[in-house]
Structure 1
């Protein structure tokens, strides 16, 4: 499979978990009404999603090293389609959570196996450039998810979102079945899961990378978790929340484009992570100051710009010392940061404080990024 078709399919596969998350956000208020639960309980569906997603990352990463990238992808997407069908049938909130967890477990294949496919084909600076290019395309994900989700909820309620996700998963499964080629290297180290886990747990750089990925994601998805209720409190309909995704997509796309351009001009990825953390802090302060009006969406632009700049550089450099076991290491790395994201979003749902959450995430990100930059300068 040549580079261009692989990149197109990789973009679609990486967009799918993102769209599945953001498509669901406009349905939270309708889910709360349909099942008689409050905002805190409804927002927990995203926390359940991330926790189940984390364990799916481990399973699919391990399986793709053992049996191959292609069959693993087909199995995972098939499970997601089955979970979406189940969610359409349930009549209790607990049943919906179970279906949500099963779907998140299945769709995790789109993240870990796709990243492994890309790491099979690209390395070093080229890989960072690929992640940046994909980041520009992924910037449209929140806009597509929020706008489509709001439209589907307006027309069909939360079941419209579930039906849309079912159709998307079936379409992706057919695309992979027809064109996805196997990229698993012929000779891989038979790396033990616990051996690799122990090595990674002792790796300070892995912990720093996992924390950074988690902090930038918690900042981003705290908006998707709390945004519907903020718009409701301001007297604005769920459709306006969907429209806000278009604005945020511009910020994320700009961040990814700036990252790609600055990398080409010789800026280091680590330096750009520091800049991104600073941007996130500016955005967090702005949201905190303006969250009693719809202007807080403009302040969120700084937060999504930070996400678009930081994530490609963090992911591109995270596993450079684990090239002989990419599937397993990628799975464990994903487990680490998705558990952190899930735990963080549980706290976000509990405290219901968007501005403060953004400032805390950006502040910790800036401290971690500066500490890494200082250690590199000292060792140079």
Structure 2
């Protein structure tokens, strides 16, 4: 732990990290309203989620770089202001294309919640302490889908997609006020502002970074493919969108249990790689169950274990990702996010085209297990 800098309060850090996920899950129930309002097909409406992640990736690299130039606090504040302005602009979008452009600008601003907050946490913690911090925060973040889905579902039922974006703007305005009052500047004096290209080349040559990038992307695609595809599955089954909102509690429980289980395993000195392997196996089993049940309303139940695998894997992947880049944490964190969010965006785009949740999940699980086995084998022969 770095004792020479101001510490961010855990409640504020949790809220900032929850912020992008709340926004993503608030948007999901609005997909059917957007589809009806703009007269587009379901697969087209679902592209909003993939657009979000691509724009989010661009935001991550931009704000991560800004963390090393203008500081963590200023970057966060400006990003939140951009989000609020873009959310308001969506209310005046006359076409689906303009809505996507506005929503992508929202995603660009929302990226500060991920990259700036992770950079602040890495300023304050390192090693096992950082892993525990991510696990604690991961437990709290598990409730964000509940908040996003329930709020988004209620707003969609009562006012359509426009109420959803109004709700986003109001919630973010409250977060902006909180940050103005309490967010510290944690940028250390020794932070280097070396060439972004230099850091990028170093990371592209790093096989461990590529392993982290692909694994983080796979687990995110598995989880968020539910949010982009399930609304239309419920619609096809003639089930109210409210039930889709309530299923967020099921997924949140999985994420919370996964993070709590992860903390217990870490206390028992189980190495992160073993936990990631376990998460990959759970993902495969639960994905197969979703595939078998996807023509029934109960297909959402195995998703609790997909979410659990996410809660198990992500803290261990993110906490070990940038151990060799501490002198360029902002830039390295930005590039790391850029890499995996671009893959997430592409993966969700493909998932929307395929339109089959079960197949998407099984493909993700097979890739996760394959990469995990390769990583273990590579480490074994190079030790």
TM-score by length of 1: 0.98
1:40 aligns with 2:43: yes
8 Å contact kept, 2:52–2:103: yes
Aligned to 1:263: 266
Query: What do the CA deviations read for 1:332-356 (whole angstroms, capped 9, x no partner)?
Result: 0000000000000000010101001
1:328 aligned residue (306, 326, 331): 331
Matched residues, number? 379
Query: What do the CA deviations read for 1:147-188 (whole angstroms, capped 9, x no partner)?
Result: 111111011111111011000111111100111110000121
8 Å contact kept, 1:56–1:108: yes
In 2, Cα distance between equivalents of 1:142 and 1:374: 36
Aligned to 1:376: 379
1:304 aligned residue (298, 303, 307): 307
Aligned to 1:278: 281
- Structure 1 residue 116 displacement after superposition: 0.0
Aligned to 1:109: 112
Structure 1: any 5+ residue segments left out of the alignment?
Answer: none
Aligned to 1:155: 158
- Structure 1 residue 74 displacement after superposition: 0.4
- Structure 1 residue 376 displacement after superposition: 2.8
8 Å contact kept, 1:56–1:106: yes
Query: Where in structure 2 are the equivalents of 1:1-380 lying within 5 Å?
Result: 3=7, 6-380=9-383
In 2, Cα distance between equivalents of 1:359 and 1:268: 26
- Structure 1 residue 203 displacement after superposition: 0.8
In 2, Cα distance between equivalents of 1:171 and 1:266: 40
Q: CA RMSD, aligned part only?
A: 1.0
Structure 2: any 5+ residue segments left out of the alignment?
Answer: none
8 Å contact kept, 1:227–1:241: yes
- Structure 1 residue 89 displacement after superposition: 1.5
In 1, Cα distance between equivalents of 2:252 and 2:180: 30
In 1, Cα distance between equivalents of 2:181 and 2:323: 31
Q: Secondary structure at the match of 1:318?
A: coil
In 2, Cα distance between equivalents of 1:288 and 1:351: 14
- Structure 1 residue 63 displacement after superposition: 0.6
8 Å contact kept, 1:27–1:153: yes
8 Å contact kept, 2:215–2:368: yes
In 2, Cα distance between equivalents of 1:267 and 1:2: 31
- Which moved further from structure 2: 5-14 or 116-125? 5-14
Query: What do the CA deviations read for 1:188-225 (whole angstroms, capped 9, x no partner)?
Result: 12221001111111111111100000000000000000
Q: Secondary structure at the match of 2:194?
A: coil
Query: What do the CA deviations read for 1:306-331 (whole angstroms, capped 9, x no partner)?
Result: 00000000000000010000000000
- Structure 1 residue 88 displacement after superposition: 1.1
8 Å contact kept, 2:68–2:192: no
